[in-house]
Each structure stands twice: as C-alpha cells, then as structure tokens.
Amino acid sequence: MDSDALVSCGAMMLQFVAEYWRSIEKRPVVANVQPGYLRQLLPAQAPEQAESFSSIINDLESTIMPGITHWHSPNFYAYFPTALSYPAICADILSGGIACIGFSWIASPACTELEAIVMDWLAKAMNLPEFFLSTGNGGGIIQGTASEATIVALLAARSRIFKEKKTEDPTLTLGRLLDQLIIYCSDQAHSSVDRAALILGCRSRKITSDSDCVMRGEQIEIAIAEDRAQGLIPFFIVATLGTTPTCAFDDLVTVGRVCEKEHLWMHIDAAYAGNAFICPEYQYLLNGVEYAESFNFNPHKWMLVNFDCSAMYLKDRTHFIDAFNVDPLYLKHAFQSSAPDYRHWQIPLGRRFRSLKLWFVFRSFGLDGLRAYIRKHIQLANYFISLISKDNRFEIVFTAAAQLGLVCFRLKNSSNELNERLLKALNDDKRIYLVPSMVKQKYILRLAICSWLADEKHVKFAWDVIEQVTNKLLSE
C-alpha cells in the first residue's frame, strides 16, 4: 500500500466527482443504453498487467457514465430520494481507510460506541420514546436497508412467540409453529414486507386501507378474529409511516392498541417520512409510536447521509440477542457484558463503520441545517402543487396527512390507459423522470423532490415539460 498514491489517486477521483456534480444538470437524467451495452465496451478477461489509475479514470466517461441514471439530477423525480453530501462521502473514505469489521466491541471499540451515541442523538432529535435509547433496555443500530430491518424485526418477533409457545407446549417445534404463524401489513405497505414473510416462511395477510390509504386498527381486529378462528397465530404487524405509493400514514394509535390487546409485535416502517420527524412540526405523526417494539427509517433517503444507512430502534434488545445469539469461542471477549456486540442485532456478522457518516453529517450541518434541507424539499413539493392546481385538466390525488416531498397526480376524469400514456410520453421525452403507482385501481403519477440541487426553477421546468407533453398527447 502506498500512501502517496492514495493522495494522488484520491485527488483525481475527487476531482472527477466534483466535475460530475457540476455537469449533472446537463446530463440526460436516465441512461440511454440497452441491456448488455457494457459487455460490448469491456474486455472479456481481467487484465493480466496493472494499469495506471489515470487510465481507469479516463475510461469512466466512455464506459460507466453512459449507463448511469442520475439520481441526483434536479430533473430526477422518481421513487424517493437517496441522499448524499460531501461530509458523508469523506466519512466513507475514512471508513474505507480504517477498514475495520466492527461486529463486536473488541473488534473496534470506536465503531460500536460511536454508533450507540449517534443513534441516541438521532432518537432524541426525533423525540422518540426513551425506551429506544441505548441507556435503557433498547437501543439503536444501523442496518443496511429498511428491508433488512423488517426481516430482523420479524425474526426477533418469531423467536419471542416461539419461546412463549414453547413454555405452553414443550414438544412444540419451530416447523409446526410456522404452519400457524401469520403476519399483517397494509395493502399499501412496501413489497419488502412480502419478501420478509417469504424468507421466514410465514403466512402474510394484507389489511385493506381506507379511502385515504390509511390502515386502521378496526380492520386488523376483524382479521385477527377471523384468523384465530382458523387456528392461526397472529404475532406481527408492520405499520407504515409514509407509504411508497402515496406517502400515507397508518393510524398508529388504533393499530398499536390492537397490538397491545392481542399481543402482536408492531414494527414501524418509516423509511422515507421518518427523516421529517427531526422537524418538530411533523412529530405529531409519531403519535402512537409508544406501542412499537421496533422502528426503522432511512437517513440515506433524506438526511444527507449516503447509502447505506438505515436507522433501526429496538424497545427491548434482548429479543434480538436471543434470536441471533451464536457465540463461538473465537468471537468471545472479556467485555461482552458491558458493551453491545452488534453482530447479535443483525443478519450478517461483518459490518462497516457506517456511524461515521451520521457523525460527520450531524457536525457539518447541525440539526438546523438538516431541518432546513427537508423543509426546502417540502416547500418545493407545495410549489409544484400550486402550479398544477392552476390547470383544471389535472387533479391531486390521495393527499396524505403530510405529503412531505411527494405529489401524486393524474389527468382528471380520465382512464388509467391515458395516464399511463402520459407517463410514457414524459419519460420518452427524457427531460424529466417520473414513476407511477396503481392505488385503489387508479393509475397515478408520482413526483418526488429528490435532488439536493433542486430549486423552484427546476420544479417550474418540470411543470413546463408536463404541460407541453400533455398538450401534445391530448391533441393527438
């Protein structure tokens, strides 16, 4: 390893990224390539001899960059945002340079301790219940994604119910219990919940949301009674704050009361919207969080922290340690009883020093800076609403309790087929990029404010494109 080469090559890489940021607005937002394009540009075998780093950098524009969809272009309005900032990138450089694998406290004490500290900072900023803090029986951990967090929560809940049922019937096997277990989520929940159920071999049932796409406790209570009558064992439910299709917020209070009454584990998925809870004016949406056994959101979506950084909070960490505790001699150490070993809180053994990103971002922007960033995106979404509301051909649909940075719209009094044609025409135009949702049998267009570069002029440009493409479509 050559530290001088790190400096010179690192400078070249940072210069390339800086130039990319400067030019991103001029680049086509979606890659204009066909599947297999890269195989035609790269050799079939790895090089036998070393190449210079400058030659690798020089090849980026001709090979890699044509196949990039530019998520941080101010013309990218698809999905939900993915965050970035220079402090987070610098933190990842340090993480890569240290190159520790922090599965236990002894494997790198700072890796473990910084994670506990910044996760407590984050919980306090969001005004989460104190039982989620590391100073009590719970605590926070950085997972890779919200999908991982759901699987981990489901595994812990399954371990808890198996332990409880085993005391009633010592002959019970996990296989026999799995035949009876059932989990619940809204018909608006993320597809990762279905995947978690598939991975764990559990039945799942979708609860019909109301006309506002909100899941409420009354419907869950009916489903539980029906399933218990069939000999099934309800044990887990995912409540969503900020659904992917429409940014709807499930009714945590009524859902939580049912979970408390029926002894179900409530996991909250707030992947996108959870970031807004650092703003006091949105913390009312957390009413009912006290019923949760686990809570998750993604700072890598909206808090200027690069992927991957998914914040997960546990009410009682012993449920997770019981579920994941595999303790070979070579992983034991003298401080196991006085410090968390995060290997017991997650699926993989190894883990990167991801807490550095949160620490760097907190210190570089402060909570005030992060709140201002989130509020700006929400203001831009409201600006788009003000523009589209002047055109009576369109309607805003499925307005959530707080739509945050997402706007759902469609052509008024029109067919799904026409709205689908509009989206195709917009994306074929290639000046902006949107994705759809199908909600309550309605095909809708989603515009999510995603880019850290986005400003009113970009939102106005997006609206101008939508107007132009709509005019052309309706005149055909």
* 430 closest CA partner among 27, 20, 65: 27
- What pLDDT sits at residue 315? 94
pLDDT one-digit tens code per residue, 143-171: 989 889 999 999 999 989 988 998 998 88
What's 408's domain CATH number? 3.90.1150.10
Is the same domain home to 354 and 396?
no
Q: 331 falls in which pLDDT band (50, 70, 90)?
A: low
Domain count across the chain: 3
**Residue 241 domain-assigned?**
yes
What's 282's domain CATH number? 3.40.640.10
Examine the fold and report which residue of 332, 360, 388 is the final residue of a domain before the chain moves on. 360
Examine the fold and report which residue of 28, 52, 68 is the final residue of a domain before the chain moves on. 68
Is the same domain home to 351 and 398?
no
pLDDT one-digit tens code per residue, 385-444: 999 999 999 999 987 656 799 999 999 999 999 999 999 999 999 999 999 999 999 999
Strand pairing class (139-143; 310-314): antiparallel
Is the same domain home to 14 and 144?
no
Tell me the backbone φ, ψ of residue 242, rounded to 5 degrees.
Answer: 90, 70
Contacts of 191 (CB under 8 A, 6+ apart): none
Strand order of the sheet with strand 442-448? 394-396, 406-411, 442-448, 435-439
Is the same domain home to 172 and 230?
yes
How far apart, in Å, are the Cα atoms of 83 and each of 80, 94, 129, 295, 370?
10, 19, 26, 20, 12
Is the same domain home to 318 and 391?
no
Tokens of 246: 């429409």
**What average pLDDT does range 323-334 have in this prediction?**
62
**Residue 84 domain-assigned?**
no
pLDDT one-digit tens code per residue, 47-91: 999 999 999 999 999 999 999 999 999 999 999 999 999 999 999
Is the same domain home to 400 and 336?
no
* 347 closest CA partner among 107, 147, 47: 147
Is the same domain home to 350 and 398?
no
**Residue 439 domain-assigned?**
yes
Q: What is the pTM of this model?
A: 0.90
Is the same domain home to 59 and 174?
no
Q: 326 falls in which pLDDT band (50, 70, 90)?
A: low
Is the same domain home to 55 and 171?
no
**Residue 88 domain-assigned?**
no
Is the same domain home to 332 and 380?
no
Q: Contact 221/251 with Cβ under 8 angstroms?
A: no
**Residue 75 domain-assigned?**
no
**Residue 86 domain-assigned?**
no
Is the same domain home to 349 and 397?
no
**Residue 87 domain-assigned?**
no
Tell me the backbone φ, ψ of residue 312, rounded to 5 degrees.
Answer: -125, 135
Domain, as residue range, for 32? 3-68
Examine the fold and report which residue of 327, 360, 393 is the final residue of a domain before the chain moves on. 360
Is the same domain home to 389 and 344?
no
pLDDT one-digit tens code per residue, 181-226: 999 999 999 988 998 888 888 999 999 999 899 999 999 999 999 9
**Residue 340 domain-assigned?**
yes
